[in-house]
Amino acid sequence: MKIMGYIRKLLKFKNFGGASLPHIQGSFSQFGEDLFLRWHFADREPGFYVDVGAFHPHYFSNTHYLSSFGWKGINIEANPLFSHRLAKHRPRDINVNCAVSDTEGEVTFRNDAMCSGIVDDAYTGDNEVGETFSVSCRTLANILDEHLPQGQNIDVLSIDCEGHDLRVVAGNRWEKYRPEVVLIEDHDTTIQSPTLEAMEALDYSMVSWYYLTKVFLDNRSNAPRPCIQAD
């Protein structure tokens, strides 16, 4: 009779808090970053994202919520296993299997699931976990030159590259490719970090912060801004 007990519990929850059920908000991001995107783009038509270090089609994904509501984009993932999954589950998207940095060539990449990344002095994963292999590495600007549809604006840029994030930033041409919202993983837990300084130099302001992810808004856009911003 366990099933009847489950039903009674469900009915009790509904009777107690039924009015709250429509307001429950779930998140697919690791730290809830897509809740900001949900608010910021709430009354807008589906847009376009670029997800650098996309990892997985929905698990710990900053762009899955957008994709499920008709957005399209470019997913860039160096790990071939996860790049294959992205291609399978995001058929409307452009899926690129390579690493991203401020230079091009071959790099050593460590396969450590969600902590996979380029092995260098900035790598934030565990250097003792997972196999390493060589992958092709490109700059973000050159990837966008090749794959961004002509005339397409970028609404959201998400960067999660295990310590290599600022080199991804350095490899973009910001006057040509200027997203409205930029999410960047930053393991520096202070506000006045090199990531903040780099984005402020590009004329972006930090408008939100989700644990290891800082959210920036283009100062040149007319997008609505949160009431509170970091000084």
Tens digits of residue pLDDT in 37-63: 998 998 899 999 999 999 888 878 999
Q: Answer yes or no: is pLDDT of 134 > 90.
A: no
User: Confidence class of residue 108 from pLDDT cuts 50, 70 and 90?
Assistant: confident
More confident residue, 57 or 150: 150
Integer angstrom CA distances of residue 218 from 25, 181, 205: 26, 6, 7
Chain centre to alpha carbon of residue 70: 17
Q: What span, in angstroms and rounded, lies between the C-alpha atoms of 174 and 208?
A: 21
**Residue 179 in contact with residue 218, Cβ under 8 Å?**
yes
Beta bridge partners of 118: 109
Pairing of strands 72-76, 48-52: parallel
Task: Give the H or E element holding residue 84.
Answer: helix 80-89
Let me know: does 124 contact 110? Beta carbons within 8 Å. Answer: no
Cβ-proximal residues to 140 (8 Å cutoff; 6+ apart), any chain: 50, 52, 76, 100, 168, 171, 172, 177
Do 109 and 132 contact (CB within 8 A), yes or no?
Answer: yes
CA atoms within 13 A on the CB side of 158: 27
Answer yes or no: is pLDDT of 24 > 60: no
Q: Is the pLDDT of residue 231 over 70?
A: no
Q: Output the pTM of the full model.
A: 0.82
Q: Could you give the domains of the chain?
A: 30-218 (3.40.50)
Tell me which residue of 26, 63, 72, 74 sits closest to 45, measured CA to CA.
Answer: 72
Point out which residues pair with 135 in neighbouring strands: 107
Dihedral of CA 146/171/110/67: which sign? negative
Question: Which tokens sit at 23?
Answer: 């307001």
Residue 205: which region, alpha, beta or left (left: phi > 0; alpha: psi -120 to 50)?
A: beta
Whole-angstrom distance, CA of residue 158 vs CA of residue 179: 10
- Dump pLDDT digits (tens) for 192-226: 899 999 999 999 999 999 888 999 999 998 877 76
DSSP 8-state code for residue 149: P
